[in-house]
Structure 1
Amino acid sequence: MPLGLLALAIGGFGIGLTEFVIMGLLPEVASEYGVTEAAAGWLITGYALSVVVGALAIPALVTRLPRKNVLLGLLVLFVAGNLISALAPSYELMLTGRVVAALCHGAFFGIGSVVAADMVAPNKKASAIAIMFTGLTAANVLGVPFGTFLGQAFGWRSTFWAITIIGVIALAGILTLVPRSAGAEHDAPSLRAELGAFRATQVWLSISVTVLGYGGMFGAFTYIAYVLTDVSGFASSAVPWLLVLFGVGLFIGNFVGGKAADKALDATLIVALAALAIVLLAFALTAQSQLATIIALFFMGGFGFATVPALQMRVMRSAGSRAATLVSGANIGAFNLGNALGAWLGGMFIAAGLGYTAPIWAGAGLTVLALAVIVPAAAAVKRSVSRSGAAAGAAASPGAEQPMGDAAAPDAATQPVAS
């Protein structure tokens, strides 16, 4: 494994921690600032919306700049945002810190995905992206539970001080371990060329699946602390341990999903999303049972994050290797747009008096919608591959064979065939 992938994972760990740890501390933050649960949820929703803005704007502004320098600048922004959050005397300033930190999130993972994919052989690109996203899963397995412990023991501000320190460590890791040449081939395309990738219908279908699929999982997860304590009946002290279980599911799902996506990209997405929808429906029906909740948490994390490497790889393939940077960043924004959508729907349903399991039902609905998009999108790619294979076979010598199925999708997906 190239050491640069480890450096990207360290950066992902810090960024993932600042995104996710607030979920375990939401009751404490809401109590200190004297705001409602729905208002506190804007610390998540606002973060996610800011990620969308940063994911689109920053890659467009740095198209010609060296990718390593951009990653370093993004981590500086990340550190500054978490310092603001750690010091914030008011809810409004806390929200400002969250927004500032979030601006780097989408661009970091978008550009980092391109850099990670460039470090390895073509048949290992989804796995390389999965390694970078391992930082996110490690943030859930280790960072979020211990960050929650830290916040409960010493106040939630101590958690953001710890995140700030991690950001500095990540900055040093990127500086020393990521080669300057990584992603260099993507520096040449102009902004016009990058924008041209959005003409491919498969790009938009991939982004739509990201919004709906990821929104389904995190819509259910946003208010999980309230579900665990008020519905399932767990003590608040058990929440960090339950988040560890969810994080283990994320870690395993991310690893397995990356390996599976390298072999069968669209099939991996369809299976994972179908399984996630089933898990969410079962969770919503059985949340009063502590045993059922424990099982659902693990599989919700596993199937939910099994989609992540495949979703990121699919949109990059759909754009084509020479114009993947802006599309990659846009898809990271789509992850967080889905996060915001899920959190908003969940907060709206809770405010309407539908209870803390309502966000889980909403998440299941979003996941089913994601399936409704990916199934015909995958079918369109297969038809395109079949047509391309037939045309190539006609031009080749008799008896020549053409690759079929998902394995051939990278070439087909780079063309706007479904437009």
Structure 2
Amino acid sequence: MLAACATTTGGVLSAYSYIAPLLTGRAGVAAGLVPLVLVGFGLGSLAGSLVGGRLGDARPHTTTIAAAAGAAVLLAAICLLPAHAGATVVLVVLLGFFGLGANPVLISLSVRFAGDAPTLASALSVSAFNAGTAAGSWLAGRALDSALGATGPAAVGAAIAALTLIPTITIAVIHHSPRTTR
């Protein structure tokens, strides 16, 4: 679960950390409108947390897998459509929804699987989110200076977000295996 915490947030926030150059340089969004796009991302994140938390109560593994896949697809779309301002803005808002919508579920699963150490699991989940963000942002910054330019951070984010599918699918398979008693 901690790996999923690191990669889900690392993927999304690595791209988000450098979204302004993509919005202004590639999509042609006026610099004065970038804060409004960031508000849209924040509102998407809030809605994603509410919806993800509610869906995660009923189907936690499906929610974490769908959110990770959605974030990876959205980040890839941002890489492919950076010249279309309207599409890019919508994708950024949706990225907030999908990209951070699984976080409450990931924390809940971490606590659930922690046994006698739920407080430690919660703390480690937050630490994993922060470690993923730091590592992803560092990689995204290096990609920004690469031949990919302003789309580099989104490409890095898509790859990291896709990595979230490994632990989330593995845990879902193990959890639903007939040999487990969870």
* TM-score normalised by L of structure 2: 0.95
2:131 maps to which of 337, 355, 370: 337
Q: The residue matched to 1:352 in structure 2 has which SS? A: coil
Q: The residue matched to 1:287 in structure 2 has which SS? A: coil
Aligned mates of 2:180, 2:17 — CA distance in 1: 43
| 1:375 corresponding residue in structure 2 | 169
C-alpha deviation, 1:352, in angstroms: 3.1
2:154 maps to which of 343, 353, 360: 360
What code does the residue aligned with 2:149 have?
G
What code does the residue aligned with 1:331 have?
S
Unaligned 5+ segments in structure 2 are none
1:264 maps to which of 47, 59, 62: 59
| 1:281 corresponding residue in structure 2 | 76
Aligned mates of 1:375, 1:297 — CA distance in 2: 25
Aligned mates of 1:352, 1:268 — CA distance in 2: 34
**Count of matched residue positions in the alignment of Structure 1 and Structure 2:** 182
Q: Which runs of 4+ in 1 moved over 2 A?
A: 351-354, 386-389
C-alpha deviation, 1:353, in angstroms: 4.1
Give deviations 1:188-235, integer Å, cap 9, x for gaps: xxxxxxxxxxxxxxxxxx000111111110011011111111111111
Higher relative contact order (CA 8 A, sep 6+): 2
Aligned mates of 1:207, 1:376 — CA distance in 2: 13
C-alpha deviation, 1:359, in angstroms: 0.6
1:304 maps to which of 93, 99, 117: 99
C-alpha deviation, 1:373, in angstroms: 2.1
* TM-score normalised by L of structure 1: 0.42
Give deviations 1:243-275, integer Å, cap 9, x for gaps: 111111111101000001111111110111111
Residue 146 of structure 2 contacts residue 152 of structure 2 at CA under 8 Å; is this kept in 1?
no
| 1:241 corresponding residue in structure 2 | 36
Give deviations 1:149-196, integer Å, cap 9, x for gaps: xxxxxxxxxxxxxxxxxxxxxxxxxxxxxxxxxxxxxxxxxxxxxxxx
Give deviations 1:112-163, integer Å, cap 9, x for gaps: xxxxxxxxxxxxxxxxxxxxxxxxxxxxxxxxxxxxxxxxxxxxxxxxxxxx
RMSD of equivalent CA atoms: 1.2
| 2:109 corresponding residue in structure 1 | 314
The percent identity for this pair of structures is 35
Q: The residue matched to 1:259 in structure 2 has which SS? A: helix
Aligned mates of 1:335, 1:281 — CA distance in 2: 21
Aligned mates of 1:249, 1:311 — CA distance in 2: 18
| 1:324 corresponding residue in structure 2 | 118
1:250 maps to which of 23, 32, 45: 45
Residue 174 of structure 2 contacts residue 180 of structure 2 at CA under 8 Å; is this kept in 1?
no
Give deviations 1:275-328, integer Å, cap 9, x for gaps: 1111111111001110111110111000011111111011111102x3111121
Q: Determine if the alignment matches structure 1 residue 294 to structure 2 residue 86.
A: no
Aligned mates of 1:357, 1:387 — CA distance in 2: 44
| Bigger-Rg structure (1/2) | 1
